[in-house]
Chains A and B, each alone.
Chain A
């Protein structure tokens, strides 16, 4: 692509009647962006906007399977929401979501940050290291759940075998999925394993955009490595970190596949997260109204977290 000399540019522009140029530009300005935006926005509004509104509506009704097919559901006000907080299983699932989800976000961010810093060092073997950390990302969540479930298998799993060989005899036939806490340890490792690559690579990209001069200037001013990290790197990465934390929270609080597959054997379903509980109520038990209410509560929780993060980052302008 070539840049024309100034004289030619001027000639071209002035050869058209200014009024027409203005009119054509006005039309261009309005129609083109609208035409380009329309398909995407239609899909998002139709597939996310409309169902969301419908789910919120369902959460105020007593809709079950019959009502869903034949109609005739009744408005029950806040009854479903009262039940979400009164029912022990559903209440526990909300607490599980927040506690376990937060742990996953923290674990992912910490490991992701360390790996990004390592990748940013120009070390030998970095390319291989990069490919190694890329691979878990390629494994679909459901396959990852199956793989880790096998590694944590009570009788034939590698983890128990390894621990016993290291001298922890208590892990002979240890059943990780027999109760909530140990099941969560296994699922936590699975989730972090899968999600740290994305965080690491995104932060690496961020690190590479930090001008070397800035860091050198800080070094000249006498800042040690830790101070340079805290005072220069971290503030510059803040917008990326904030968005990654938001995305991770959204993903980890909604976690489904891993819990559904790995925590299926935990007694009383006490390890269910809100997403799994909502699915069970809605589909397995056909309590669509109640299931929707669980989902709406989860959405409100996520929105609240997102708002807090945006506040912490400061200006929303850094996001959009």
Chain B
């Protein structure tokens, strides 16, 4: 009985939190499948009477969401690849070399996360304009690196720290150079960390709105958040289109998250901050 009381509370809490977490997602999906007459009603149904898929081809075609998804994919992947290449080495050094300067660098890197994005938008806009990059994919990829790299360094450093030093020492005693040991010992063991970092840095580029809003004017280069915003912003919000776009926008990330849940749930994202 005592057991039941104790566990019962926990299950109730679990159900409550799950409902809070899932209901909005559920509501978006079914709204995107409802015919217009069932979207704009004061007595919403929990299930569409006759699920319709026509919102999806509509937003993908005339709504330019297809093109926007491709743009977002290009920008986010570019950010992810460059971010991993650049921050892996830095994270390794900041984890393995213990000196006063590494600590100072780490704190400086953390401080960059403290700068509100708006602090950077104006001068970045000017810089991109001068470089002639405004409106290009590169203007977004380059600026997203400014935010993904610091985060990536901290997260990956946590993973490197969790790999025992001794393994590397052993490899070096066996005759491997420092870089060889890094390549053959640390990198494979840090693979889950690389995966988590890849997901995080991809997400930076995938979800960013403000810089994209500022840099991109060309319809053909717009990323998904910009198109989504244009649906909401119009005098009369096209909720069917908003919901279908939101589903298409979220789906890829949700799939990756579910596949990577093991890594994300034992998330050493905390390891990153534990040192």
Show the binding face of A for B, using Cβ within 8 Å.
1-4, 9, 12-13, 28, 32-33, 35-37, 39-41, 43-44, 47-52, 54-55, 58, 68, 111, 114-115, 118-119, 121, 123, 125, 128-144, 146-151, 153, 155-156, 158, 161, 193, 197-198, 201-206, 208-209, 239-240, 243-244, 247, 250, 253-254, 256-257, 260-261, 264, 274-275, 278-279, 282-283, 288, 291-292, 294-296, 298-299, 302-303, 306, 316, 318-320
Contact = CB atoms under 8 A, between A and B. Distances in A.
Contact of B146 (A44, A125, A319): A44
A275 B257 contact: no
Given A139-B254, A151-B27, A274-B116, 8 more contacts: A33-B93, A36-B90, A40-B89, A44-B109, A55-B123, A140-B253, A150-B28, A295-B118
Interface in B231-274: 231-233, 239, 242-243, 245-246, 249-250, 253-254, 256-258, 261, 264-271, 273-274
Contacts, number: 310
B184 interface: yes
B22 to A, nearest CB: 5
B35 to A, nearest CB: 14
For the complex, would chain B's binding face be called helix, strand, loop or mixed by DSSP majority? helix
Contacts of A282: 118, 121-122
Given A12-B175, A133-B17, A44 B112 contact: yes
A288 B116 CA distance: 16
B42 A155 contact: yes
Nearest to B200: A198
B274 A123 contact: no
Contact of B257 (A138, A205, A253): A138
Interface of B: 7, 10-11, 13-14, 17-18, 20-22, 24-25, 27-28, 31, 39-44, 85-87, 89-90, 92-94, 97, 103, 105-124, 126-127, 142-143, 145-146, 149-150, 153, 167, 170-171, 173-175, 177-179, 184-185, 206-207, 209-210, 214, 224-225, 228-229, 231-233, 239, 242-243, 245-246, 249-250, 253-254, 256-258, 261, 264-271, 273-275
Contact of B90 (A40, A130, A261): A40
A209 B207 CA distance: 31
Given A39-B90, A118-B14, A256-B209, A138 B250 contact: yes
Nearest to B181: A1
Nearest to A253: B116
Contacts of B31: 150
Nearest to B245: A143
In terms of DSSP, what is the predominant structure of the interface of chain A? helix
B24 A240 contact: no
Nearest to B242: A146
A319 B18 contact: no
A171 to B, nearest CB: 12
A320 B103 contact: yes
Q: Which 6 A-B pairs have the closest CB atoms?
A: A36-B89, A47-B146, A140-B207, A40-B90, A51-B123, A243-B273
A118 B174 CA distance: 46
Contacts of A68: 126
B261 A52 contact: no
Nearest to A264: B233
A143 B39 contact: no
30 contacts: A1-B170, A36-B89, A36-B93, A43-B146, A47-B124, A49-B112, A52-B120, A118-B10, A123-B7, A129-B18, A135-B254, A136-B21, A136-B24, A139-B250, A139-B254, A140-B249, A146-B231, A147-B25, A193-B24, A201-B269, A203-B270, A204-B265, A205-B271, A239-B273, A256-B209, A257-B210, A275-B118, A282-B118, A295-B119, A318-B275
Contacts of A138: 250, 253-254, 256-257
A132 B22 contact: yes
A320 B94 CA distance: 10
A299 B90 contact: no
Given A43-B86, A320-B103, A298 B119 contact: yes
B178 A32 contact: yes
Counting chain B CB atoms within 10 Å of each CB, the highest count among A123, A132, A140, A303 belongs to A140
B42 A205 contact: no
A296 B274 contact: no
Most buried by A among B118, B124, B231: B118
B23 to A, nearest CB: 8
A313 B268 CA distance: 20
Given A47-B142, A148-B24, A208 B266 contact: yes
B24 A41 contact: no
Contacts of A111: 17
A303 B92 CA distance: 27
Nearest to B253: A138
A156 B42 contact: yes
Q: Which of A49, A142, A282 has the most CB of B within 10 A?
A: A142
A245 to B, nearest CB: 11
Nearest to B91: A40
Contacts of A279: 118, 121, 210
Contact of B105 (A37, A50, A153, A283): A37
A318 B127 CA distance: 37
Nearest to A6: B173
B117 A306 contact: no
A294 B254 CA distance: 36
Given A43-B86, A43-B149, A47-B124, A202 B119 contact: no
